[in-house]
């Protein structure tokens, strides 16, 4: 950890890691130095994710065949970057997946599969069950969400539940966006 913490790309870092069970200090780098936390936890979370998952890991939203004919299930994997913007138009997140691309892939796979070819998609199920627990911590200020700094925590979002006043529930926003893509004529 000390080598990673010394990386100059992290800027000024003060941190202390303590084993909650034993009280043993596992890591300390200026941990007693007062400092503003700002987005420090996000940076530590991102650094940990990069260290564990690697920089090439993609968090995917997948589509699977439903139990009933004509049913497809959109399974959220935690990708906040999925966008409703048309393909070719970049969102805030460069290289983000686009709903219209996802819809085209689903349609192509449906037609290529002898078990589903010719069966129209009549029902779309949204599965945001990957994460359990509350989607919003009560101590968080809702202005963080309204101002676009913090979405509700859910496995299925579109445009990181873009800023709206008041913000819609994430899965409801995804439902509306996915529904619009499904109804849009393909060019």
**Sign of the torsion formed by the C-alpha atoms of 66, 183, 173 and 83:** positive
Residue 112's region, left for phi above 0, alpha for psi from -120 to 50, else beta, is alpha
Residue for token pair 């060019």:
187
pTM: 0.62
Per-residue pLDDT of the chain (187 residues; tens, 9 = 90+): 778 878 888 777 788 899 989 999 999 988 888 876 666 778 888 899 999 999 999 888 899 999 998 999 999 998 888 899 999 998 888 888 899 999 999 999 889 999 889 899 999 999 999 998 888 888 888 888 777 777 888 899 888 765 545 555 555 666 666 656 555 544 4
HEC secondary structure over 100-163: HHHHHHHHHHHHHCCCCCCCCCCEEEEECCCCCCCCCCCCCCCHHHHCCCCCCCCCECCCCCCC
Which one-letter DSSP state was computed for residue 92?
Answer: S
């Amino acid at each position: 950890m000390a080598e990673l913490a010394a990386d100059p790309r992290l800027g000024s870092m003060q941190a202390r890691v303590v084993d909650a069970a034993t009280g043993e200090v596992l890591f300390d780098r200026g941990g007693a130095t007062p400092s503003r936390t700002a987005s420090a936890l996000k940076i530590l979370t991102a650094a940990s994710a990069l260290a564990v998952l690697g920089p090439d890991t993609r968090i995917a939203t997948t589509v699977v065949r439903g139990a009933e004919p004509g049913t497809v299930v959109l399974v959220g994997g935690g990708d906040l970057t999925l966008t409703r913007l048309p393909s070719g138009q970049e969102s805030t997140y460069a290289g983000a997946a686009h709903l219209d691309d996802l819809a085209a892939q689903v349609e192509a796979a449906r037609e290529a599969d002898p078990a589903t070819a010719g069966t129209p998609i009549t029902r779309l199920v949204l599965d945001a069950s990957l994460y359990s627990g509350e989607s919003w911590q009560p101590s968080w200020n809702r202005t963080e969400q309204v101002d676009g700094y913090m979405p509700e925590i859910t496995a299925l979002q579109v445009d990181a539940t873009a800023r709206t006043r008041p913000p819609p529930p994430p899965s409801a926003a995804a439902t509306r966006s996915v529904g619009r893509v499904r109804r849009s004529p393909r060019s």
